[in-house]
Amino acid sequence: MNRTDDRDTGEWPRAERDLAALAAAASFLRGVRRGQLQPGDTVVVETRNSLYAVGALGNGEFAVSGGWFEANHAGGGSIAINGCTWGGRAILTDVIAAPGLFLEFGNGVRTTRIQAVNLVSGHQNAQSN
């Protein structure tokens, strides 16, 4: 299990954020990227208000439970993940979840700020860090 947590580092600075600065900051994110996931992996995402379990199905689709999906009885199907934002319109499409960002699902639902992320491998030969 890998855990990333930004509780001790706080939120992203609120000072001026242009696209170049956001792009530079993106390379330092501690989170889960699309390329890390294989079918069967689960990403547990703790936001300010909710807890989500995001299961990788393959082909860019995910099974999601918890949070908004539980509250609206909308779980059980597959959904795409658009990526993560800093709270604005700039979206990181290769990032599934990272502390300090907001996760945006394919149905337009955006979470509250992500507090912590855990990647749980669904593979038999996985090694724990």
Place of tokens 């242009």: 18
Q: What is the pLDDT of residues 28-73, one digit of tens each?
A: 678 999 999 999 999 999 999 999 999 999 999 999 999 999 999 9
Is residue 71 one of the residues assigned to a domain? yes
Is residue 112 one of the residues assigned to a domain? yes
Strands 51-58, 61-66: pairing kind:
antiparallel
Domain ranges, residue 71: 2-8+19-120
Is residue 50 one of the residues assigned to a domain? yes
Is residue 13 one of the residues assigned to a domain? no
Residue 87, CB-side half-sphere exposure with 13 Å CA sphere: 10
pTM: 0.76
